[in-house]
Amino acid sequence: MHRAAARALFSSSSSSSSSSSRALPQKSRRPQHSSITKGSFALKTFAGVFTTTCCSAVALSFWSSRGVKLVSMSSGVSNGGGESFTEYARPPPIVVETTGGGGGGGAGPPRRCDKAIIFLHGLGDTGRGWSDIPNQSSLGEIENVRWVFPNAPVIPITLNGGMAMPGWFDMNALERDHLIDDKETIEKASRYVDSLIEEQMDKGIPAKNIVVGGFSQGGAIALTHAMKSEHEIGGYVGLSTYLPMADSYSKGENGKSGVKVFQAHGTADPVLRFDYGTSSSEKLKALGMDVQFESYGGMAHSACAEELDDLKDFLSGKIFNK
């Protein structure tokens, strides 16, 4: 893709602020689901850009009625090794809990979160763009989960003519043959995820109940974390994404044998092509990881309700059922 075309796509995605719903592509094997882009959540389909058009008191009240609540801002500014991540904490991550019980309008006292999902947004987005997902999809049915939605720092993006925007790392191209992986920045973002994991463990959540995931660029950081981190967590999620620096990894030296990974990709993705997802999946499998790969016919660089249903089944059946 030419740089001018990339700039045009960024502009058309990020400048639109319509709050109307947009129908999402679905797999053909199931009846069509309703759109997840309702109310306060509007879908943008370039480079992982999801934009929240409003986050009103009405929306937050609705969250509470389902046992989903915006509880606080996380810190996540340093790790056990003393490395600083202040550039990732302005603003700090958004934290949403699905606790059920009395705290969400149900019967009985509020329950304590015993699971955590750290989910990283895509290029040009913020944590708030995904923070409505527990409310807008079946993922909110998984109870006692603390969702952490961190914010990428604002950095110049070569692909976008050097314009600064939220990004986990720089990108010079979308084509894998021309893309030069921003190794240093990618690896620092992975270490920042370590700090978020450690924060959740300090709050009493066991590592086996922590999942790291992301969309597009965020998913690339999640898959890199699976290669680099010493933390043995429950699993990983990569939506419409790829594994950076894939050729540098080898079995026995990188990755964790048997670690569960959920990957999903639209077959019509014009940004990060479908074959980027499939080749990354095959690489992870070759490294000994337990990968569930789902494809969605006709879906572009976006998400759909069925994909999130499949993710919920993966999390409930393979991660949080222990």
**Dihedral angle of Cα 17, 71, 221, 302, to the nearest 10 degrees:** -30
Classify residue 109 as exposed, middle or buried by CB count within 10 Å of its CB (0-12, 13-18, 19+): exposed
In the chain, the amino acid numbered 173 is A
Asked if the model's pLDDT at residue 56 lies above 50, the reply is no
Summarize the confidence of residues 225-233 as an average pLDDT.
94
Write the pLDDT tens digit of every residue in 136-182. 999 999 999 999 999 999 999 999 999 999 999 999 999 888 999 99
In the chain, the amino acid numbered 165 is M
For tokens 């092509």, what's the residue? 273
**Strand segments (E) across the chain:** 41-42, 51-52, 68-73, 94-98, 115-120, 145-149, 154-157, 163-166, 210-215, 235-239, 260-266, 290-296
Say how far apart CA 197 and CA 185 lie, in whole Å: 19
Just list the catalytic residues: 216, 269, 301
* Number of domains the chain is built from: 1
Q: Looking at residue 152, which CATH number applies to its domain?
A: 3.40.50.1820
For tokens 């592509």, what's the residue? 25
Residue 32 lies in a domain: no
Scanning 16-89, the segments in alpha helix (DSSP H) are: 57-65
Say how far apart CA 68 and CA 146 lie, in whole Å: 10
Q: Which of 196, 114, 110, 192 is nearest to 148 (CA)?
A: 196
Q: How confident is the model at residue 84 (pLDDT cuts 50, 70, 90)?
A: confident
Asked if the model's pLDDT at residue 32 lies above 80, the reply is no
Exposed e or buried b per residue across 74-106, where buried means at least 16 C-beta atoms within 10 angstroms of its C-beta = bebbbbeeeeebeebbeebbbbbbbbbbebbeb
Which of the pair, 287 or 49, is modelled with greater confidence? 287
Exposed e or buried b per residue across 212-243, where buried means at least 16 C-beta atoms within 10 angstroms of its C-beta = bbbbbbbbbbbbbbbbbbeeebbbbbbbbbbb
Write the pLDDT tens digit of every residue in 257-284. 899 999 999 999 999 999 999 999 999 9
Residue 28 lies in a domain: no
Asked if the model's pLDDT at residue 316 lies above 50, the reply is yes
Lowest mean pLDDT among 86-95, 286-295, 309-318: 86-95
Which of the pair, 10 or 189, is modelled with greater confidence? 189
Three-class secondary structure of residue 44 per DSSP: coil
Q: How confident is the model at residue 19 (pLDDT cuts 50, 70, 90)?
A: very low
Write the pLDDT tens digit of every residue in 100-144. 654 444 455 667 899 999 999 999 999 999 999 999 999 999 999
Owning domain of residue 62? 3-20+37-319
What six digits make up the tokens of 312?
Answer: 């919920």
Give the rounded percent of residues in the chain with a pLDDT score beyond 70.
70
Summarize the confidence of residues 72-93 as an average pLDDT.
66
Distances (CA, A) of 11 to 24, 35, 45, 111, 171: 21, 24, 12, 43, 17
Residue 163 lies in a domain: yes
Q: Which of 50, 142, 53 is nearest to 96 (CA)?
A: 142
The pLDDT of residue 253 is 72
The CA radius of gyration of the chain, in Å to the nearest whole number, is 18
The pLDDT of residue 59 is 34
The pLDDT of residue 291 is 98
Write the pLDDT tens digit of every residue in 72-82. 555 555 555 56
Asked if the model's pLDDT at residue 20 lies above 60, the reply is no
Summarize the confidence of residues 298-303 as an average pLDDT.
97
The pLDDT of residue 71 is 61
